[in-house]
Each structure stands twice: as structure tokens, then as C-alpha cells.
Amino acid sequence: MASILRTSAPRAIRTTLLSSRRTPALPILQTRLQSHDTRNPPRGNPPIANRPPPDAPREEAGALRNNSKSGSYLGTTKRLPEFNLNDKVVLVTGAARGLGLVQAEALLEAGATVYALDRMPEPSADFYRVQKRAAEELGTTLHYRQIDVRDVPGLNEVVKSISDSQGKLDGLIAAAGIQQETPALEYTAKDANLMFEVNVTGVFMTAQAVAKEMIRWKRGGSIAMIASMSGAVANKGLICPAYNASKAAVMQLARNFASEWGHYGIRVNTISPGYIKTAMVEALFEQYPERKRDWPTQNMLGKLSVPQQYRGAAVFLISDASSFMTAADLRIDGGHSAW
Ligand SMILES: NC(=O)c1ccc[n+]([C@@H]2O[C@H](COP(=O)([O-])OP(=O)(O)OC[C@H]3O[C@@H](n4cnc5c(N)ncnc54)[C@H](O)[C@@H]3O)[C@@H](O)[C@H]2O)c1
């Protein structure tokens, strides 16, 4: 996750846990821009109104018909159709990379049309792999819009233009977030305000913009906001007071949104991940090797998670599979915060 690292206090523990400063090398950027227009990505089958879940592939359909072997093609007319996201338009903030991008790919696999919103001028290299796969293999589309969630007028404009062009808006995963590791006694007001502006107000304004569109189209919708186990506990050996408070706020916002928007058919939930092993967490382990040893021992499964372990949660919460679930937190932390 992206970090904002400050240098104000000599004893501050500063990490690159969530660094967002990297920009792609220019030659790579140029090559990618020649082959991809991020505002007009390669198109697969356009979403068709009220499209039913797809049929099972031929071989599997045969097996399903005569029960000769167990089928596994989930999300079809035969298997768990409530997980199917065909015909749904979903926004994912923070999806230029990391957890947001992995969850966006899961939504695409379930059939959704997905718009990634992120402040990065150019998404990560992996974004282009997913975008290509969406068009060529999954029969759907992944789009990119550069927007900083702190730019509220810009955010509103982007959300409205997507909603206008698609004639609907069905889902949001709010994954954009920053992290900063600094002891409470050394935290500056400026840094704390930045943390809350992105992680709390940014999530708030994104959900508000999306909910307004959902209400306009009268189709209901589902919003999943990425909180953290750190919204419920203070992490041992990871000193992030403002970040942890911001994630507690995300959970409380979700309960309030759910209570205000339930009668519009809008559900609002949070996902609270435990530690996710990303490239940046790996880099952190090089800086603090004891964390690599200690962190896995702090949960009941004895290991850290990977972003792919949150794919199912994203599809579940956005789809009708969770149609009676709102104002809830889906904690996926290997039991960390139950110990
Ligand atoms: N990595 C973990 O261990 C962990 C654990 C629990 C929760 N989380 C949460 O998961 C979410 C994703 O984290 P990640 O690990 O994938 O981090 P990441 O840094 O890889 O991804 C975060 C994305 O958010 C974007 N972003 C940051 N500020 C933004 C802004 N102002 N406007 C628009 N986009 C912005 C970044 O550019 C980046 O693409 C975050 O909300 C994070 O707090 C992460």
C-alpha cells in the first residue's frame, strides 16, 4: 500500500511500506502509450442490458446435463448464478496496482465492466495485462481514469461521466488509500490531515458520488470499502496511529451509509484485510527483518496473506450473493484480531 513518508522527526519510523512515488521509466511508458489508449481500452463484448449469466462451455454443459461429472463453471445459469456480474458496471478506486487491481480482475472474471480510478498518471504494467485479458478472454472491458480522490469536483465529474456513458452504475470498491508509519508523539497535524483526507474524506466523497448515481438510476447497488484489521486493533510493532484511526472511520462510515441508503437498495459493507504480502511489504522486511519472522506468528494460520485471497470477497460483496448483507465488516485476517 502506498505510503507517505515524512522526515520531520529523527526517531520517526519511516517505511516505504506503501510508497506511491514510483513512476514508470519513460521508455516503458512511451511503449505502452503507443499500444494502449487508457481512456479507450480494447473492447470486448459490450455489456447488454439484462444479459443473463453465460451458458457453461460446451464440454462442461454436457457434463452438467447428464451429471457425468461435477461441473465447476461458477456464475453460469447452472452454478451459483447469483455471483454473476454480467451487466454490472463497477468502479474500483486505487486499482492502478495492488489489491484494487487484483479485485478488479476478479470482478472482470465474474463478467463486470470495470473502471479503475487512481491518482497515478499511468497504471502499473500489470494493469495492461488485465485490460488485454478482459477484452480478449473475458468478453468485457477494463477502463482507466486518472483522478485523485481528494479532488472532489474532478471525482464527481469522472463518476458522473462514467455513469452517463454506461446508463447505470452498480458497484464500487473503494481501495485507494495511503499509509504512514510514525509514532503518535511525532505525528504532525499536516501528516494526520493528509491521512484523513485520503483515507476517510476520499472514501466518503467517492461513496457519495457513486451513491448519487445509483439513486439516479433506481437500480440499487453495492459499495465495498477497504478498511483493515487495523481499524479494530492497534498492531503490535507497526506504529500507524492515524492510519489505524482512518480505517476505524471507514468502518463507521459504512454503517452510516448503509443506514441512510438501504431504502434505495444500496448496500454498504467493508472488507478488513490482515497483512497482505506485496512487493512493498517484502521491501519493508528487508529493512526490518524481524517483522518477517514475527508478523506471521501473530495470526492463527501462521502466514501472511496475498492480494489474491481477497478476490472472492470482492465478487461476493458486489454481487447478489450478498444481497441481504449491509453495514457489515468482512474481516479476513487469518484470525489476527481475534487473538
Ligand atoms: N497492504 C496491506 O497489508 C493492507 C492491509 C490492510 C488494508 N490495506 C488497504 O488496502 C488498500 C489497497 O492497498 P494496497 O496494499 O494495494 O496499496 P497500494 O499502494 O499498492 O495501492 C493503493 C492504490 O491507491 C492509490 N491511491 C493512493 N492515494 C490516492 C488518491 N489520493 N487518489 C486516488 N488513488 C490513490 C495508489 O496510487 C495505489 O494505486 C488500501 O486502502 C489499504 O489501506 C492494505
Q: Is 79 in the pocket of ligand 1 (CB under 6 A)?
A: no
Q: 177 CA distance to ligand 1 centroid (A)?
A: 4
For residue 273, give the 3-state DSSP assignment: strand
Pairing mode, strands 171-174 and 142-146: unpaired
Q: Whose CA is closest to atom 13 on ligand 1?
A: 1
- 50 pLDDT above the threshold of 90: no
φ, ψ of residue 119 in degrees (nearest 5):
-80, -15
pLDDT digits (tens, 9 = 90+) for 277-304: 987 688 788 889 999 999 999 999 999 9
Q: 77 CA distance to ligand 1 centroid (A)?
A: 35
- Comparing 6-10, 71-75, 85-89, 255-259, the range with the smallest average pLDDT is 6-10
Higher pLDDT, 42 or 110: 110
Q: Using 50, 70 and 90 to split pLDDT, how confident is the model at 79?
A: confident
pLDDT digits (tens, 9 = 90+) for 158-192: 999 999 999 999 999 999 999 999 999 999 999 99
Q: How far is CA 264 from the centre of its chain?
A: 23
- 93 pLDDT above the threshold of 90: yes
The single residue of 168, 187, 247, 310 carrying the catalytic annotation is 247
pLDDT recorded at residue 24: 39
pLDDT digits (tens, 9 = 90+) for 110-163: 999 999 999 999 999 999 999 999 988 888 999 999 999 999 999 999 999 999
- From first CA to last CA, the distance across the chain in angstroms is 24
pLDDT digits (tens, 9 = 90+) for 54-68: 677 676 667 666 656
Q: Using 50, 70 and 90 to split pLDDT, how confident is the model at 39?
A: low
Q: Using 50, 70 and 90 to split pLDDT, how confident is the model at 266?
A: very high
Q: Which of 140, 142, 133, 100 is nearest to 119 (CA)?
A: 100
Q: Is 198 in the pocket of ligand 1 (CB under 6 A)?
A: yes
- 265 pLDDT above the threshold of 60: yes
- 53 pLDDT above the threshold of 90: no
- Contact, 213 vs 164, CB < 8 A? no
pTM over 0.85: yes
- 36 pLDDT above the threshold of 70: no
Q: 67 CA distance to ligand 1 centroid (A)?
A: 44
Q: Is 228 in the pocket of ligand 1 (CB under 6 A)?
A: yes
247 is annotated as an active-site residue: yes
- Comparing 189-198, 205-214, 281-290, the range with the smallest average pLDDT is 281-290
Q: Among 17, 99, 173, say which to mutate for ligand 1: greatest number of ligand atoms within 8 Å of CB.
A: 99
Average pLDDT, the chain: 86
Q: Closest ligand 1 atom, CA of 247?
A: 43
Residue 291 Rama label (left phi>0; alpha psi -120 to 50; beta): alpha
243 is annotated as an active-site residue: yes
Cα 115 to Cα 11: distance, rounded to the nearest angstrom: 41
Cα 99 to Cα 77: distance, rounded to the nearest angstrom: 29
| Domain ranges for the chain | 85-332
Q: What is the DSSP string of 82-139?
A: GG--TT-EEEEETTTSHHHHHHHHHHHHTT-EEEEEES-SS--HHHHHHHHHHHHTSS
pLDDT recorded at residue 87: 85
pLDDT recorded at residue 55: 72
Q: Closest ligand 1 atom, CA of 123?
A: 39
Please tell me which of 20-34, 127-141, 192-206 the model is most confident about, judged by mean pLDDT: 192-206
pLDDT recorded at residue 38: 63
- 289 Cβ partners below 8 Å, 6+ apart? none
Amino acid 217 reads: W
Q: Closest ligand 1 atom, CA of 120?
A: 37
Q: Is 226 in the pocket of ligand 1 (CB under 6 A)?
A: yes
* Cα angle for residues 31, 36, 42 (degrees, 5° grid): 155
pLDDT recorded at residue 316: 97
Q: What is the DSSP string of 141-203?
A: -EEEEE--TT-HHHHHHHHHHHHHHHT---EEEE---EE----GGG--HHHHHHHHIIIIIIH
pLDDT recorded at residue 287: 86
The CATH label, of 3.90.1300.10, 1.25.40.80, 3.40.50.720, 3.60.15.10, for the domain at 85-332 is 3.40.50.720
- Contact, 71 vs 93, CB < 8 A? no
